[in-house]
Structure 1
Amino acid sequence: MAEQGTRATGTDRVWCVVVPHHAEGARRARHRLEASLTALVPAVTLADAVTVTAELVSNSVRHAAPLPGGVIRVAWRMVGGGIEIRVTDGGAATPPTERQVGSESPDGRGLAIVSALAEGWGVDRDGLGQCVWARMAVPAAQPA
């Protein structure tokens, strides 16, 4: 069911997967991102990127409408010494915002987690819906 692709644009490497608009979609996106970046980034950075992807896709499933066909588009690219992750869905009535929640709250931490792990995040809207993106630094390789 998932459409997957990789392309190179100059020095950028770009991957895209289309996943179902339900919890299974988050799992598929995490596994695809991990498989594509394992040899390219340090393990700690990869773990953070997987977490950010999971939070963005989970938020899309929970709070936004799907794209036509009941799907979410997840794309990531290596560019400028970092990773950019983009999750595109059909949008929601209110824009995504980071919430302040108490320690006993069972949810509401997704964008706080993204904010803590990423250098920045934001929302782009167009005629199709909305794209929530996050940018993460990839540390330079350490000499052996």
Structure 2
Amino acid sequence: MDLKFEGGRELERLLMDLPSTVAKASGRRVLKKAAAPIKAAAEQLAADDPATAANDLHRSIGISSRAAARGGKAGSNEVQQNVGVLTSIHDGRGPERQPYAAAMVNEFGSHKMAAHPFMRPAFETRAPEAWDIIVAQLRIDVAKTVARHQRRMARAGG
């Protein structure tokens, strides 16, 4: 897969002039939009048992940035979004922890069951589309974020 991004240095300069929290929020917004096609493809590919309508595997797939906060370095400018099976889904009665285990068995298989991957194929088929969204939306979001930040600074200063 050949991916190309031009104009990154200008965007980086604009982002570096913003407070870190503002720049990270912009990155998270863009990455969440880019992750949506991968999530949709994974939901379509995930196993669906008509007998268990409430807690099917496809309902447990989500987009999260939580792992970056736990695993990231303090003061880091990295932004991550993860698409995958959430460790719990809520159906009104409390967390249901079974979808994660089912996802692992479906994705990788076990000694009793062949693998039925859904996350990896979803990523492989939709990664170019996600990249195109990142390239297009990053320019738009950074421009809006810079303008919004400048307005806030003008109001605060004047």
TM range (shorter): 0.3 to 0.5
Where is the strand percentage greater, Structure 1 or Structure 2? 1
TM-score by length of 1: 0.34
Where is the helix percentage greater, Structure 1 or Structure 2? 2
